[in-house]
Structure 1
């Protein structure tokens, strides 16, 4: 597993620190419910406490960290209700992104998404790799909409998705259903079938909730 909590190799800023912590949370280096020690993190990252506090404040505003009075700062713990709410928000963003893609030429974006699905099929048998390619697909879907605001909002929910997938890896041990679902969605976008793509996205999110909660 990559080590994200390590000294920064470039000038530290709250944004860079927030990015490092976000990746550490998403990839399970900072686990759900874990308490963040300011002094320890500052030492590991090689930064002063001022920029570190600003970076952590950004993640608190995003909902990835939670401050508990008289106890400290903790990584959010994803309950079933949190998972449902997160996927509700992701669904809204990704459906909006798909609609925007369908306002223009869809063959290019659809082809990009199909190439990612090919990578997913080659990675079958490696749940961690399939999980990362799954996330890559959805990041690409939103990026291809060319909406900076949708991309910014999506970033937090993708981190929470990573938390779920890494914490519940056994639930996603089988890749074949994900290849099929992503292929159908990518092909619907490629041929410009907006209504079908929208229905597939809704079903895909509902299926993910079921697999993550009913484990």
Structure 2
């Protein structure tokens, strides 16, 4: 039983990290401007197991390096439920760089790259660490107070093994005031193992 749980934990580690990490980077910022975005999310069908889910918590901060370039820093951790006897926590520290190719002409088009350091703690596999990197294309459109966006991301995860995933994100931002923005996004993740996982995230962002 312990060996079975160890194998499950290692597979979950690879399957649960892939994510587009759009959130604050979906909000266009100018030179010297900050976006602060705490978020919460839920990932389902982890490791192709409909009973297994991950609850995500984190914080994303975006900064305008110039009018077309944005740097995002993300901290995130996730806890798992659905496997009896398993205790597991996954943490990541990420850096994401986005460059705006087009600005509302008639849509906004951006490209980006991200890199993450990952650490894991559990009661079977110990505390392995690893990394993730990816490349993404982001398209957004403004409809009055609603900003809609789609993102396509390709990522590689190395943590007690290696896996890849293709992720498609559909999201929306509602501008409440000039400084407060509500964000919701859903990401569909096609894992290299041949199955799909789903992740839903919510955030309330503050623009400085």
TM bucket (normalised to shorter chain) is under 0.3
When Rg is computed on C-alpha atoms for both structures, the one with the higher figure is 1
Q: Which has the higher strand share?
A: 2
Taking structure 1 as the reference length, the TM-score comes to: 0.25
Scaled by the length of structure 2, what TM-score is found? 0.26
Where relative contact order (Cα < 8 A, 6+ residues apart) is larger, the structure is 1
Which structure has greater helix proportion? 1
